[in-house]
Amino acid sequence: QEAHAAQMERTFIAIKPDGVQRGLIAEIISRFEHKGFKLVAIKILVPSKEFAQKHYHDLKDRPFFNGLCAFLSSGPVVAMERESKYGRKLIGATDPQKSEPGTIRGDLAVVVGRNIIQGSDGPETAKDEINLWFKPQELVSYKSNAEKWIY
Ligand code: RTP
C-alpha cells in the first residue's frame, strides 16, 4: 500500500483569482473530491508577480504572458496537490468555448483569459509546479480507505 502511494501520479491544481472571487472554490474542489482524487496539500495565497512569472515561465514568449502573470497575482489563489492522473479531463480544454460540458471549464467558465483553474499538463510539469508551490512539509501522507472502493 505504501509503495502504491509513492508511485501514484501527482498533479498540481490551482483555482485562479477569478474562480476564488466568483465563489467557486467549493464547487471546484467537490468535482475532484467526488471523483476520488486524494487531496495531499492545500493552501490559499496571493502569488507575487515574480512568482507568477516563474509558474508560467514556459509561456514567456507569448503575447498574453504579462497579462496572464498580472492576473494570477491579482488576488487569492487556492493551490492544491492531488494524487491523480486524469486531472486535465475534469478541467477541460484551455479555451472554455471548446471545453466539453461536464468539465469544470466547460460548465463554469466563458473566456480563455478567465478560465478559473489551472492543472499540470503532465507528470514532469506536475513535479516542477509542486516543487514551486509547496514545501515538502506541507504535504500529508495518509491512506484513504475509499481507495479500496473507488480505484
Ligand atoms: P493552465 O496551465 O492554466 O492549466 O492552462 P493550459 O495548460 O490549459 O493552457 P496554457 O497554454 O498553459 O496557458 C496558460 C493560461 O494562459 C491563458 N491563456 N490566454 N490567447 C490567450 O489569451 C490565452 N491563451 C492562454 C489561459 O488562462 C491558460 O489557462
One digit per residue, the tens of pLDDT, for the chain of length 151 reads 444 544 578 999 999 999 999 999 999 999 999 988 889 999 999 999 999 999 999 999 999 999 999 999 999 999 999 988 767 889 999 999 999 999 999 999 999 999 999 999 988 999 999 999 999 999 998 887 766 776 5
**CA-closest residue to ligand 1 atom 10:** 94
In angstroms and rounded to an integer, the radius of gyration of the C-alpha atoms of the chain is 15
Q: Annotated binding residue at 115?
A: yes
| DSSP result, the chain | -HHHHHHS-EEEEEE-HHHHHTT-HHHHHHHHHHHTPEEEEEEEE---HHHHHHHTGGGTTSTTHHHHHHHHTSS-EEEEEEE-S-HHHHH--SSTTTSPBTBHHHHH--SGGG-SEEE-SSHHHHHHHHHHH--GGG------TTHHHH-
64 lines ligand 1 (CB under 6 A): yes
Question: What domain range is 81 assigned to?
Answer: 2-140
Q: Count of residues for the chain?
A: 151
User: Does residue 148 lie in a domain region?
Assistant: no
**CA-closest residue to ligand 1 atom 13:** 94
CATH of the domain at 56: 3.30.70.141
68 lines ligand 1 (CB under 6 A): yes
Predicted TM-score (pTM) of the model is: 0.91
User: Does residue 133 lie in a domain region?
Assistant: yes
**Number of domain units in the chain:** 1
Q: Annotated binding residue at 125?
A: no
C-alpha to C-alpha distance for 77 and 25, rounded to whole angstroms: 10
